[in-house]
Amino acid sequence: MLISYKWLQSYFDEKLPVPEALAERLTLGFAEVDGIEQKDGDAILDIKILPDRACYALSHRGVAGEVAALLGLEIKESDTRVPRASRKIRTVSVRVEDSNLCRRHIARVIENVSVGPSSDWLKERLESVGQRSINNIVDATNFVTLDMGQPLHAFDADKVKGKVVVRPGRTGEVLVTLDGKSISIDPSIMVIADEDGPLDIAGIKGGKKAELDQYTKTILLSVANFDPISIRRTSAKIGIKTDASKRFENNLTTERAKDGMDEIIALIVKLCPDAKIGKEIDIYPKKQKKRRIAVPIKFVQGALGMNISEKEMRSALSRLALTAKKRGTALMVAPPPERLDIVRPEDIVEEIGRIVGLERIPETMLPPISALPTVNKRLNLENKIRDMLVSDGFSEVMTSSFASSGYIAIEKPLASDKAYCRKDLWTNFHPVLLKNYSNAPLLGSKEIKQFEIGKVFTVKGEHTALIIGLMPVKKSVSEVVQKIEKMLGMPLCGKFCGGNNMYECNLDVVMKIHPLESPSFIKEGAGGGFIKTFKPFSSYPFIVRDVALFVPEKMDAERVQKIIEGETRGKDVVSIRLFDSFEKKLTDGSQKTSLAFRLVFQSMKKTLTDAEANAAMEAVYRVLRSRRCEIR
């Protein structure tokens, strides 16, 4: 989302940090700032607000709240003043047919408005974040959407015929949007309509019919809250994404609708001082419940790995407008209505952590492993088969889990050939085998050998299957199947597919009856020999040095390596490895053996210098020469 630095500053009396410093703090404690653009004396921050925080943060006010919390600043008190309703203003009848899809709707008529160009300050605000100025009323609705995150819409009230109803669309209805796009309506699309038909696609896009123009004198304001799933589905179906749909599909609080109405009323009265406000009609059948989450104090300390006090926890939460009261050994935390992302104790821990600073978490070594890990039976079996097939020259392929036919249909397939979950491996494996065989000359091979292990989905449920294939067709996989069966000590009970060159079986059947834990089957070392403590790694760069030498008779590589290890012990050498050896015949008929070792230097405390590594190597050369070795 694009956020104006000047717009943010308007929320604070105290001067904000420079944009670059502010961006760094936001990235560390809230959301990543992808970039900063200088524009007409303003800095525009491109903030990547993720879905978990979009319910409250897709607005300048939401980001200002985060800035206040992270920097410990106070936000100015709102000076929004809503004038009283005039008695003689017309009212409008509004009805909501499905309160699960339209969870709240507030309507209000304003008379004696004057539609025209916007004030310079309003144009500047909108244009700074890429919005085009249209007229003062439309700009006001767009400003409120971007300022506080509550979408709303203004209709020309004189173009609305009869009662207004929020309802599912009807088959055959058509709506022309404000940008001239014709949309076919059906019952899956929620609309706001009058007696003649749809006025707009609810929560997504307004229609031409009740569009404001220079002759508009009376407007009908609509501020609502819609079901996020319905909005997202409709937006995807009609191919229209707007600032409104983006916010509604992220589950806005129903409480914000009232604030949005108050904000737009105050702004329109400021822009049109002669405007007269009508009575507010608020349809709100299912009010949002207040929430309280119990969070044990020790749970917070343990999860963060920090011994922070109850007072510090409450202070961090209060900066985020989360009230907390102690009850026994726990905190009872009440999130504000807009924080619908906070639903469990772990969410509270995250909020506390990012405010107090995750950089405060101390570095702590993991405890020793108390028990040896057990062998993963399924993975062990699959890897045994993989290793055997690869050693026989087979290549593993991975084909799509979707197919053009099957038993399990996909509700919203990406394409017709991906409309079902695959019922077997053969369906997608066979074309790949043929394709690879057609490219065999490019690979310099006369045959293609491949296999696949993956999930398939049948009427009895899903299971893991194995398929093996050979090309050309005259080849048979029988010998390979027999080899696998001999390794497992049991039949695979599969079947040949389309000939003897392909074979598929159900590995889950094998899994149920195979003695996977028998010592003869488990790979050597898989059940023991594990290091019981973690070894820390260095963040400092390493230096590599090689030494090549001719060795005396009867001196082998192992003895030379021990000599080098003894000389370099305590000198930050983390690895010594033999990487080359050969024998050289001399003119007198004798032979000399050459060995080459690679030494890796790395310190846990500092960056080593070439001089330190060279000094250590000189000591190695001296001790090797003393053992009658010839340094090459």
Closest Cα partner for 509 from 466, 471, 540, 449? 466
pLDDT at 519 over 50: no
pLDDT tens track for 472-486:
988 899 999 999 999
Location of each CATH 3.30.930.10 domain in the chain: 377-513
Give the H/E segment covering residue 319. Answer: helix 310-319
Alpha helix segments (H runs only) across 107-217: 120-128, 136-148
Contact 507, 453 (CB under 8 A): yes
Per-residue confidence at 249, pLDDT binned at 50, 70, 90? very high
- 396-429 residues labelled b (16+ CB within 10 A) or e (exposed): ebebeebbeebeeeeeeeeeeeebbbbbbbbbbb
Contact 349, 295 (CB under 8 A): yes
Per DSSP (E only), the strands in 63-170 are 94-96, 102-111, 152-156, 164-168
Kindly state the average pLDDT of the residues 457-462.
94
pLDDT at 526 over 60: no
pLDDT tens track for 406-449:
999 999 898 999 999 999 999 999 999 999 998 776 565 779 99
Per-residue confidence at 520, pLDDT binned at 50, 70, 90? very low
pLDDT tens track for 66-84:
999 999 999 998 877 888 8
pLDDT tens track for 163-219:
999 999 999 999 999 999 999 999 999 999 999 999 999 999 999 999 999 999 999
Q: For residue 186, what are the contacts with CB-CB under 8 A and spacing of at least 6?
A: 169, 170, 171
To which CATH superfamily is domain 377-513 assigned?
Answer: Bira Bifunctional Protein; Domain 2 (3.30.930.10)
Contact 317, 324 (CB under 8 A): yes
185 secondary structure, DSSP code: -
Q: What is the reported pLDDT for 516?
A: 55
End-to-end CA distance of the chain: give it in Å, rounded. 63
- CA separation (Å) from 245 to 100, 233, 248, 439? 17, 10, 5, 48
pTM for the predicted model, two decimal places: 0.67
d(CA 339, CA 344): 12
Class in CATH terms, 2-71? alpha beta
To which CATH superfamily is domain 94-283 assigned?
Answer: Phenylalanyl-trna Synthetase, Chain B, domain 3 (3.50.40.10)
State what percent of residues in the chain have pLDDT above 90: 78
Per-residue confidence at 395, pLDDT binned at 50, 70, 90? very high
d(CA 461, CA 147): 50
In the sheet that 2-4 helps form, which strands lie side by side, from edge to edge?
2-4, 42-48, 32-39
76 secondary structure, DSSP code: P
pLDDT at 524 over 60: no
Per-residue confidence at 589, pLDDT binned at 50, 70, 90? confident
Location of each CATH 3.30.56.10 domain in the chain: 2-71, 289-338
Q: What is the reported pLDDT for 473?
A: 84
Q: What is the reported pLDDT for 575?
A: 86
Query: Which SS3 state, helix, strand or coil, does residue 588 take?
Result: coil
pLDDT at 515 over 70: no
Residue type, 377: K
Closest Cα partner for 233 from 216, 221, 211, 248? 248
pLDDT at 593 over 80: yes
- How far is C-alpha 134 from the geometric centre of its chain's CA atoms? 35
Task: Report the range of poorest mean pLDDT among 43-47, 142-146, 227-231, 602-606.
Answer: 602-606
Kindly state the average pLDDT of the residues 609-629.
94
Angle between helices 610-626 and 557-568 (to 10 degrees): 130
Q: What is the reported pLDDT for 525?
A: 37
Kindly state the average pLDDT of the residues 119-133.
95
Q: What is the reported pLDDT for 535?
A: 65
Q: What is the reported pLDDT for 32?
A: 95
Write the DSSP assignment of 355-413 as a string of letters.
HH-GGGSPP-PPPPPSSPPPP-HHHHHHHHHHHHHHHTT-EE----SEESS-SEE-SS-
Q: What is the reported pLDDT for 529?
A: 40
CATH T-level fold of 289-338: Phenylalanyl-tRNA Synthetase; Chain B, domain 1 (3.30.56)
- How far is C-alpha 458 from the geometric centre of its chain's CA atoms? 31
Closest Cα partner for 3 from 121, 131, 118? 131
- CATH 3.30.70.380 assigned to domain 543-631? The reply is yes
Tell me the chain's radius of gyration from C-alpha atoms.
36
Tokens 């009575």 label which residue?
A: 279
Q: What is the reported pLDDT for 73?
A: 95
Parallel/antiparallel/unpaired status of strands 543-551 and 630-631 = antiparallel
Tokens 């008929």 label which residue?
A: 589
pLDDT tens track for 337-354:
999 999 999 999 999 999
CB count in 10 Å sphere of residue 480: 19
Q: What is the reported pLDDT for 488?
A: 87
Task: Report the range of poorest mean pLDDT among 416-425, 488-497, 517-526, 542-551.
Answer: 517-526
Tokens matching residue 58: 């897709």
Determine whether 77 is exposed, middle or buried from the number of CB atoms within 10 Å of its CB (0-12, 13-18, 19+).
exposed
Better-scored residue on pLDDT, 255 or 367: 255
d(CA 621, CA 616): 9
Closest Cα partner for 488 from 578, 342, 383? 383
The length of the chain is 632
Q: What is the reported pLDDT for 154?
A: 97
- CA separation (Å) from 374 to 366, 526, 532? 20, 8, 14
CB count in 10 Å sphere of residue 465: 23
Q: What is the reported pLDDT for 367?
A: 82
Tokens 């003062």 label which residue?
A: 136
Alpha helix segments (H runs only) across 392-501: 426-438, 440-443, 478-488
pLDDT tens track for 264-288:
999 999 999 999 999 999 999 999 9
Q: What is the reported pLDDT for 528?
A: 41
